[in-house]
Structure 1
Amino acid sequence: MKILFIGESWHIHMIHSKGFDSFTSSKYEEGADYLLSCLRQGNIDVDYMPAHIVQTRFPQTAEALACYDAIVISDIGSNTFLLQNRTFYNMDIIPNALQLIADYVAEGGGLLMIGGYLSFTGIEAKANYKNTVLAEVLPVDMLDVDDRVELPQGCKAVNTAVEHVITQPFSEWPPLLGYNKLIAKENSQVLAEINGDPLLVMGTYHKGKVCCFASDCSPHWGSPQFLQWEHYATFWCNVLHTIKK
């Protein structure tokens, strides 16, 4: 099994203020190292594409995506796909990357969107997938406004489909610290809920299978208890094996 994992990276630019003086520093971080390690240990071949690479190297044809059994989009907004460098700086006409993903799923590819500040609608509605072609592909309806639900007190999800291959191995979730508020579409299947809202939702789009996980795979919504959970690796591997083409 081979997947394309997109997102979970960022640059941090800091201002250090010391009285009258200040200086800046920058660093680059990736948030999915542990998850990707778990997937690879589970015999899943992973091509990882950090957020900034999407703007210059995202495949330009559906054929180039066809080698993957599933695509994962995690904490990366729609603008990164739609405003690639060639279009934003050179005004070149290029294929719509999100349309390529939609076409890929329609032909049988799997798609998983993982929650975060720049997933679904996202912080200040900046992820903005509601106004893209993926709104039709995903098995959930997204809000028009900032969809984050912050739970600093922690909240445990509850399985709603206990016999499903993904949720059957465990009966209790570790606490999560937040999620994107979603509305499950009529023909979707909600496998787990958190705080009364969908957490894990399965659906189909033409020939392909699609899954949404409304919380994060890494900090900060992904609590230490979640990352240390004995079922963490098995959970993600089972999700991907369920949606793969």
Structure 2
Amino acid sequence: MKPVLLAGETFHVMSFAAKGYEVGASARYTNGAERYICGLGKQGIEVVQIGGDRCESEFPMTMDGLAAYSTVVLSDVGALSLLYTPQTRVGRRSVNRLELLRAWVEKGGALMMAGGYCSFQGIDGLALFHGTAIEECLPIVCFPGPDGVESPEGLDPVVDEAGHPILAGLVSPIPYILGMNRVTARRDADTRTLIHCDGRGGQMPLLSVREYGAGRSLAWMTDIGPHWLSTDFMLWSGYDLLMANMIRWLTREI
């Protein structure tokens, strides 16, 4: 299998400490995908990561560039990080990478979006994937406003299609999560919701899949790492297999 391209999951935290008139600043860099990359590695799947801060200059801008990867995973990276390009910055026409990804999937590519504060429409509505070409090929429709659902009491995943290949071999029950993005599953013959959570007055899709043209797409509406994935989920014996099976289904290996 070709490597998986993971875009996003990195962030910088800036902080200031004031001690009277003396103010000090510090910064730290965090990669929220370390557990995910390790888990896929244990399943024999290589991951190439481009942090959100590097997407503008490094994310592929051609079909040939995308062809180097088996799957593209967008996780906690907003639409603007993909739409801006070096050419955009100097006032020149460039490629729309959201449309490029949609066309790539339609021609046989594999796309996954994982949840987070900057996924789908985003917890503050800043991810901005609603109404884009990415949304067009996903198995869900983004909520038009802020979509983050924080659930400190925990949300228990409910399996709808236990016989689906992605869920094969998993030890149940699936551990609780602490939050997710609120979306609407598409209601067509090419879309299936495999797992949901009950809350906010109804069923919220947690894992949905779709056949799109000659390709496939998948939406996982919670994190691939902390904090929306609970400690119990991160330590769950089924974590590695579930994440790997998502990629294997997308690439038609299961």
TM-score category (smaller protein): over 0.9
Residue 20 (structure 2) aligns with: 19
Number of positions where the alignment pairs a residue of Structure 1 with one of Structure 2: 244
**Is 2:171–2:237's contact at 8 Å kept on the other side of the alignment?**
no
Distance (Å, rounded) in 1 between the aligned partners of 2:172 and 2:80: 38
Alignment of 1:180-199 (within 5 A): 180-187=181-188, 188-195=191-198, 196-199=203-206
Other-structure match for 1:92? 92
**How big is the shift at 1:12?**
1.1
1:236 aligns with 2:243: yes
| Residue 200 of structure 1 pairs with residue 212 of structure 2 | no
What is the identity, as a one-letter code, of the residue corresponding to 2:167? Answer: T
1:125-164 paired onto structure 2 within 5 Å: 125-164=125-164
CA distance in 1, matches of 2:251, 2:25: 44
Query: Identity over the aligned pairs, expressed in percent?
Result: 31
In the alignment, the residues of structure 2 paired with residue 178 and residue 230 of structure 1 have an alpha-carbon distance, to the nearest angstrom, of 21
Alpha-carbon shift at residue 27 of structure 1 (Å): 1.6
How far the C-alpha of 1:84 sits from its partner, in A, is 2.6
**Paired amino acid for 1:171:** S
Is the aligned partner of 1:80 residue 2:81?
yes
* Cα distance in 1 between the residues matched to 2:249 and 2:91: 39
- Partner in structure 2 of residue 9 of structure 1: 10
Q: C-alpha separation between the residues in 1 aligned to 2:177 and 2:148?
A: 13
How far apart, in 2, do the equivalents of 1:53 and 1:181 lie? 27
How far apart are residue 85 of structure 1 and its match? Answer: 3.7
Distance in 2 between residues matched to 1:99 and 1:242, nearest whole Å: 23
Determine the C-alpha separation between the residues in 2 that align with 1:209 and 1:60. Answer: 20
Unaligned runs of 5+ residues in structure 1 are none
Q: For residues 59-88 of structure 1, what are the alpha-carbon distances to aligned partners after superposition, in whole Å with 9 as ceiling and x for unaligned?
A: 12111111211110000000100123431x
Deviations 1:17-73 (A, max 9, x none): 223321211121111011101112211122111111111112121111112111100
TM-score, normalised via structure 2 length: 0.93
Q: What secondary structure does 2:237 align onto?
A: coil
Is the Cα contact below 8 Å between 1:159 and 1:171 reproduced in 2?
no
- Which residues of 2 match residues 47-126 of structure 1 at below 5 A? 47-87=48-88, 89-126=89-126
Q: What is aligned with 2:174? A: 173
Partners of 1:153 and 1:177 within 8 A in 2: yes
Q: Which amino acid aligns with 1:58?
A: F
Work out whether residues 54 and 80 of structure 1, in 8 Å CA contact, stay in contact via their aligned partners in 2.
yes
Q: Gaps (5+ residues) in structure 2?
A: none
2:123–2:181 CA contact under 8 A, matched in 1? no
Shift of 1:203: 0.5
Give the Cα–Cα distance (whole angstroms) in 1 for the partners of residues 155 and 42 of structure 2.
29
The secondary structure found in structure 1 opposite 2:166 is: coil
